[in-house]
């Protein structure tokens, strides 16, 4: 029944490793997002996909690469993890790209880089 789900919920890893976070939505939405929440709880968008097409790519290091195999899934792969990547990553989805479209968030993935 979960609308937007993410795996894993927690991820602890060493610097330099490569890791992926998966996101799935069962709402039939066309648009999906990745947000990063830092230790002070500030939220910032990273990427957005619409029907598998990348439409927003903020100033994120190219170590971060999103992939959308279909419009229900948006995964985030991170290469060469750094200490500063430690954060909570939220996936979200919305029906469309309009300013009135509500974004629905997943439960988050807490990434800790040691």
Partner 1 sequence: GDSVTQMEGPVTLSEEAFLTINCTYTATGYPSLFWYVQYPGEGLQLLLKATKADDKGSNKGFEATYRKETTSFHLEKGSVQVSDSAVYFCALSLYGNNRLAFGKGNQVVVIP
Interface residues toward partner 1, by CB under 8 A: 4, 31, 33, 35, 40-45, 48, 56, 58, 90, 92, 94, 96-108
Phi, psi of 83 (to 5 degrees): -55, -40
Shortest distance, position 107 Cβ to partner 1, whole Å: 4
Contact 47, 33 (CB under 8 A): yes
Q: Which is nearer to partner 1, 14 or 42 (CB)?
A: 42
CB atoms closer than 10 angstroms to residue 33: 25
Shortest distance, position 69 Cβ to partner 1, whole Å: 21
Q: Measured between alpha carbons, how far is 107 from 92 in angstroms, rounded to an integer?
A: 9
Handedness of CA 75, 17, 87, 109 (dihedral sign): positive
Q: Which is nearer to partner 1, 5 or 65 (CB)?
A: 5
Q: Which is nearer to partner 1, 41 or 84 (CB)?
A: 41
């Amino acid at each position: 029944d979960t609308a937007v789900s993410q795996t894993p919920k927690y991820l602890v890893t060493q610097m330099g490793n490569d890791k992926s976070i998966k996101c799935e939505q069962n709402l039939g939405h066309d648009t999906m997002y990745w947000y990063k929440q830092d230790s002070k709880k500030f939220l910032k968008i990273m990427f957005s996909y619409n029907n598998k097409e990348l439409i927003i790519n903020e100033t994120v290091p190219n170590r971060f690469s999103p992939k959308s195999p279909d419009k229900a899934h948006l995964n985030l792969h991170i290469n060469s993890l750094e200490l500063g990547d430690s954060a909570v990553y939220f996936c979200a989805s919305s029906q469309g790209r309009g300013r009135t479209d509500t974004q629905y968030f997943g439960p988050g993935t807490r990434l800790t880089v040691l």
